[in-house]
Copies of this chain bind each other. A is one copy, B any other.
Amino acid sequence: MKPKRTAFFVSDRTGITSETLGHSLLAQFSSIDFEQIAIPFVDTTEKAHRVVDRINLAAEAEEARPLVFGTIIDKNIRTIIGGCAGFTIDVFSTYLEPLERELGIQSSYSVGKSHAIVDKESYDIRIDAVHFALDNDDGARTRHYDKADVILVGVSRSGKTPTCLYLALQFGICAANYPLTEDDLDDLELPAALKPHRKKLFGLSIDPERLAAIRNERKPNSRYSSYTQCVEEVRHAEALYARFGINFLNSTHASIEEISTRILESAGLKRKLA
């Protein structure tokens, strides 16, 4: 059994940054089993003291002190948390001072600037992108394709929809998606709706074994989920990409983050959210 260790993610805001950073760092120590506890919105000194108590209790109960990843903007709260018995890493403590020196100004210490709505504009961009992805999912509508930043194509269950939604939420990108059906694949032709938008197309592929497994959970023992069918569809889809010079990637071993970021790179798309 792996050795265990507790890791806290503490923030006076959402804590998304400390969780993201903490996950990246902890992933480098895969031989340890980390019990991960997120404590966001620690925005009063009272709450901060309670968090310290909780960390100290964990430190007593275990043989090793807990790791504490913090993104705490408020100085008083940061100081209180810093006094806990854990091994603390706080990115604001580490980096704000050197950045202030480099930039020659004081940081605003504005609580929550990072994930609060800074301007209505970027909030709207994001929500509009989510609704765009939903309205233009699965080839349901194609008349808005001129407004799409990218149009994902691929066989059913190759990962198009989650990728479109991630592109919308994380980057504000308007992504439509269109499923390649057997009819499209048999004659190796681009569906008519896609022809005018060839430059916006990006393909997803997937290993047939994995595709069959995914489809089997949805429709067990069907033709749709049979290995033979999956092999055929994937082979034709890749042939279609080759024929029309459509960039594509294989989603089998990639996370949604990776697929999305690679699409941005490949399509030369600029992030719309800061």
Q: Which residues of A contact B (CB under 8 A)?
A: 5, 13-17, 20-21, 23-25, 27-32, 34, 36, 38, 40-41, 67, 71, 73, 87, 89, 91-92, 94-96, 98-99, 102-103, 105, 107-110, 112-118, 123, 126-127, 130-131, 134, 137, 159, 161-162, 165-166, 169-170, 253-258, 260-262, 264-265, 271, 274
Contact = CB atoms under 8 A, between A and B. Distances in A.
Contacts of A28: 73, 92, 96, 99, 107-110, 113-114
A38 B271 contact: yes
A271 B92 CA distance: 24
Given A89-B95, A107-B28, A16 B127 contact: no
Contact of A261 (B16, B71, B255, B264): B16
A-B CB proximity, top 6 nearest: A28-B107, A27-B113, A24-B114, A27-B114, A14-B261, A17-B24
A229 to B, nearest CB: 20
Contacts of A126: 162, 256
Contact of A256 (B40, B102, B169): B169
28 contacts: A5-B103, A14-B258, A15-B261, A24-B114, A25-B95, A25-B99, A27-B114, A28-B99, A28-B114, A29-B107, A29-B108, A30-B118, A38-B264, A40-B265, A87-B102, A91-B91, A112-B258, A115-B258, A116-B258, A123-B255, A126-B162, A130-B162, A130-B165, A131-B161, A165-B165, A165-B169, A166-B169, A169-B169
Nearest to A162: B130
A7 to B, nearest CB: 10
Contacts of A27: 110, 113-114, 118
Nearest to A133: B165
Copies, count: 2
A94 B253 CA distance: 29
Nearest to A69: B95
A10 B253 CA distance: 22
A34 B274 CA distance: 9
A131 B17 CA distance: 26
Contacts of A112: 258
Nearest to A261: B14
Given A110-B30, A162-B169, A36 B95 contact: no
Contacts of A165: 130, 165, 169
Contacts of A107: 28-29
Nearest to A100: B29
